[in-house]
Amino acid sequence: MPYDHHAIEARWQRYWDEHATFRAVRHAGRPKKYVLDMFPYPSGAGLHVGHPEGYTATDIVSRHLRMRGVDVLHPMGWDAFGLPAEQHAIETGTHPAVTTRENIGVFRRQLKRLGFAYDWSREIDTTDPAYVRWTQWIFLRLFERGLAFQAEIPVNWCPALGTVLANEEVVDGKSERGGHPVVREPLRQWQLRITAYADRLASDLGSLDWPEATKAKQIEWIGRSEGAEVDFPLVGHPGALTVFTTRPDTLFGATYMVIAPDHPRTLEITAPELRSTVKEYVAAAARKSDMERTAVAKDKTGVFIGAFCTNPLTTKPIPVYTADYVLGAYGTGAIMAVPAHDERDFAFATQMNLPIVEVVSPDGRLHDRLEAAFTGDGTAVRSGEFDGLATPEMKRRIIDHLEAKGIGRRKVNYKLRDWVFSRQRYWGEPIPVYFPVDTAGDPRRGAPATIDYTRPIPLADAELPLLLPALEDYKPGDPQGPLAKALDWRFFQKDGRWFARETNTMPQWAGSCWYYLRFVDPHDEREIVSAKAYDDWMPIDLYVGGAEHTVLHLLYARFWHKVLYDVGVVKDPEPFLKLVHQGMILGETGEKMSKSRGNVINPDDVVHQAGADALRVYEMFMGPLEQVKPWQTAGLQGVRRFLDRVHVVATRTASNAIDDETKRLVHRTVKKVTDDIAAMRFNTAVSAMMILTNHLQALDHPPREALEKLVLCLSPYAPHLAEELWERLGHTPSIADHPWPTYDPALCVDDQIEIAVQVNGRVRGRITVARDTPEAVARDLALGDEGAKPFLEGKTVKKIVYVPGRIVNLIVG
């Protein structure tokens, strides 16, 4: 008989709400844990089945810790700024705030319907003015420290769409949507100096309990490389071209130079007769993305610009080319090319017929023709006084030499770029800055105004939050963003002088960079977070979320945290001590769930048909949390039948006696579930509870101890059913306030053990026996063991030594 999940689940959700069961409260003398989910973007599509996967995992951990006397903070909120609400506003005229509020309502209802033990009194919405105020407050701290600054940087500007596009949205110089021409144009942008934190962001990863792959990706993204800058004097022009190289040891093999097309000096040092050719090349390069330019496989293109530099060590003149495989934004925007030891340079030199000179030899001998670049370490050759040095030593000696002569220096470079932090969008946090304006009239009435962007003035803390104006028209179109059209908001007078507000907004990342911090003190109006609240809960003990956030969100949040650390707001150098990524849930046939494939499972339907408990337990039973796994409706039904069996067994008349076998199984199940939750192996804990349930099902009067422990173990997984059964077993709710069940370790000792089979003292095989197996049985098993057999052939067994629980040693001769 299936139990009535509608009635049971509604009843207990109401109970938890009314009793604020999961309010996070600190008690003196108790340990704390902060267990956090990556909060969702409340999209119009509602929750999908991927959301409850990670959320159930953290919910089980939270409920389990709570039952073990730990004070737990387990909050939820909404990452609510974002493009879809703005797009919807453009199409329908509905204010994004309205759409966002509706979507949040749907998400909140759906999550509550799953029975998560969140402290809902701490709910956060990143678009809430009370929250925006503190996001802007952090921006002001960044600004004060010189970490927020303006720069003209080339962006992909599409005049027809009136918007800036991401690199991924540009294909062959045209917009992916509509095929309109896109130009790289310098645009004034706000940037955050994340590069100033590159070293700390890389080195502090070491202390974190994070997936190794995620750490590796962050390290790669930061991309620290050690090397040197070297000056190559220009022939016939003032100054030098400075290059960044990780291989200063190859300097004697630098046979030409490459300057990036977008380097500031490219056209200036181009010979007059080559100017038009070079100009054309530069313009073509500007239409390509960095990704296209540096692809290893692609043909190298480039042109000679009619200039020469002197190789500072050989003192020979070498030609200067411009080629798009060298990026303006990395290193110094120019390289010394060493075709013998760099693959890209080798390809280019071969194509252009440039000399290839070996200066590092794998075997110390000279080779006249190279089939390919040799990029490994070796011995310096054709390098004058330095010949014979091994690569690492050569690097040090060359840099010392360059430094002594004042023509080069040690240098560390990062792939990490400063973070472009402004968006030409409406639905984001306004950047709390304004600029002086030169005008003869009232710019709000359209009087011409010159804005002095070189003198940004930050708002005072007391003026926050700076809220968005209402707009009639949310369409992009102005390179300064839709807010540029809100004249009454943009321009204002102070002490008789005119000023203009910044009209760029912050990117969606801003709100999610620090939300975890606000959860510990969500209603504080005086401070971003009080010292007491911080000490109560921070840092985060467990953070669970999708692997798609391995780089950006996690890096940006760590960056802000470190800035707040320097400001003195937070006391730990890192926010997220342990991180786990849940694996994606695929459709039934193993493909990604998507609307177009029609294979999307709607959690509302599942909850309606099988119940929230069944959905929760099923998602945990599907397989290891981190693994990618397909949805299987048959599996869901199986889990539901398991819960029905628990319901049947736990409502039978219980007996007060317990037989030995049942007792052992109960204690072992408690141990298994306890250990598995600690190790986040939720699927195997479910199997253990299934085995115990099957055993109890065969008993007409299941022992009370067995039923109670089973229900307690099940409670973090299927909390509604567990509350119901707990009450039927004669207890007062909530089961969440009851201590976690204990087990007797002596009853959990496995009685099947593996022991070694030795032949003349050497291990040749293993047998599995009961712990108290008599010698005769062990001996027979050992003699028949496949591993031992070959060593017994044609021999006589002279003696058998049996150490119970350890080994059987067969002495043969």
- Residue numbers at the binding site for ligand ANZ (CB under 6 A): 225, 244-247, 250, 260, 326-327, 330-331, 333, 335-336, 338, 341-342, 413
Alpha-carbon distance 711 to 669, whole Å? 12
- Residue 379 CB, shortest distance to ligand ANZ, in Å, is 14
Nearer to ligand ANZ, 334 or 692 (CB): 334
Q: Are residues 177 and 205 in contact, defined by beta-carbon separation less than 8 angstroms?
A: no
Q: Are 769 and 778 in contact (CB under 8 A)?
A: yes
Tell me how far, at minimum, the Cβ of 555 lies from ligand ANZ, in Å: 18
CB nearer to ligand ANZ: pick between 3 and 244: 244
User: 578 pairs with which residues across the strands?
Assistant: 209
Integer Cα distance of 72 and 60 in angstroms: 12
Among residues 792, 801, 804, which one has the least CA distance to residue 761?
801
Contacts of 141 (CB under 8 A, 6+ apart): 563, 564, 567
Compute the least distance from the CB of residue 403 to ligand ANZ, in Å: 17
Closer to ligand ANZ by CB, 339 or 575: give it: 339
* Measured distance CA(289)–CA(139) in Å, rounded: 30
Q: The tokens of 513 are what? A: 């960079």
| Pairing mode, strands 579-580 and 752-759 | unpaired
Closest CB to ligand ANZ among residues 247, 629? 247
Angle between helices 660-678 and 51-67 (to 10 degrees): 120
CA gyration radius, the chain = 34
| C-beta closer to ligand ANZ: residue 311 or 505 | 311
The distance of closest approach from Cβ of residue 250 to ligand ANZ in the complex, given in angstroms and rounded to an integer, is 4
CB of 399: closest distance to ligand ANZ in angstroms?
13
Smallest CA-to-CA distance from 85 within 70, 101, 100, 71 is with 100
From the CB of 243, what's the least distance to ligand ANZ, in Å? 7
**CB of residue 225 vs ligand ANZ: minimum separation in angstroms?**
3
Backbone angles phi, psi at 637, to 5 degrees: -65, -40
> Which CB, 255 or 505, lies closer to ligand ANZ?
255
Helix (H, G, I), strand (E, B) or coil at 619: helix
Closer by beta carbon to ligand ANZ, 310 or else 684: 310
Q: Whole-number minimum distance, CB 166 to ligand ANZ, in Å?
A: 21
The residue (of 294 and 655) whose beta carbon lies closer to ligand ANZ is 294
The least distance separating ligand ANZ from the CB of residue 809, rounded to whole angstroms, comes to 58
- Other C-beta atoms lying within 10 Å of the C-beta of residue 399: 21
Judged by CB, which is closer to ligand ANZ: 250, or 809? Answer: 250
In SS3 terms, 103-154 reads as: HHHHHHHHHHCCCCCCCHHHCEECCCHHHHHHHHHHHHHHHHCCCEEEEEEE
Q: Which two tokens stand for residue 605?
A: 């339907």
Complex with ligand ANZ: residue 371 or 660, whichever CB lies closer: 371
For ligand ANZ, the closer of residues 329 and 801 by Cβ is: 329
One-letter-per-residue 3-state SS of 149-195: EEEEEEEEEECCCCEEECHHHEECCEECCCCCECEEEEEEEEEECHH
**400-435 as b/e, with b when 16 or more CB fall inside 10 Å?**
ebbeeeebbeebebbebebbbbbbbbbbbbbbbbbb
Please, which residue, 356 or 466, has the CB nearer to ligand ANZ? 356
Cβ-proximal residues to 363 (8 Å cutoff; 6+ apart), any chain: 378, 379
The beta-strand segments (E) located in 581-669 are 585-586, 629-630
**Interatomic CA distance for residues 277 and 284, integer angstroms:** 11
The set of residues, in sequence order, having a beta carbon less than 8 Å from that of 237 and lying 6+ positions away, is 268, 269, 307
The token pair at 753 is 């053990």
Q: Which amino acid is at 758?
A: Q
Closest separation in Å from C-beta 194 to ligand ANZ: 18
Burial classification of residue 548, based on how many CB atoms lie within 10 Å of its CB (0-12 exposed, 13-18 middle, 19 or more buried): exposed
Which residue, 10 or 327, is less far from ligand ANZ as judged by CB?
Answer: 327
Q: Report the alpha-carbon distance of residue 137 to residue 559 in Å, rounded.
A: 16
Decide whether 335 or 563 has the Cβ nearer to ligand ANZ.
335
The contacts of residue 67 (CB under 8 Å, 6+ apart) are: 712, 715, 716, 736, 738, 739, 740
Cα gap 319→370, rounded to integer Å: 21
* Helix orientation angle between 682-697 and 51-67, rounded to the nearest 10 degrees: 70
Q: How far is the CB of 106 from ligand ANZ (least distance, A)?
A: 46
We find the least distance from the C-beta atom of residue 242 to ligand ANZ, in angstroms, to be: 11
Q: How far is the CB of 387 from ligand ANZ (least distance, A)?
A: 17
Whole-number minimum distance, CB 156 to ligand ANZ, in Å? 20
Minimum distance of ligand ANZ from residue 330's CB (angstroms): 4
Between 90 and 407, whose beta carbon lies closer to ligand ANZ?
407
In the chain, the amino acid numbered 705 is E
Residue 331 Cβ vs ligand ANZ, minimum distance, rounded to whole Å: 3
By beta-carbon proximity to ligand ANZ, the closer residue of 56 and 322 is: 322
Q: What is the DSSP letter of 601?
A: P
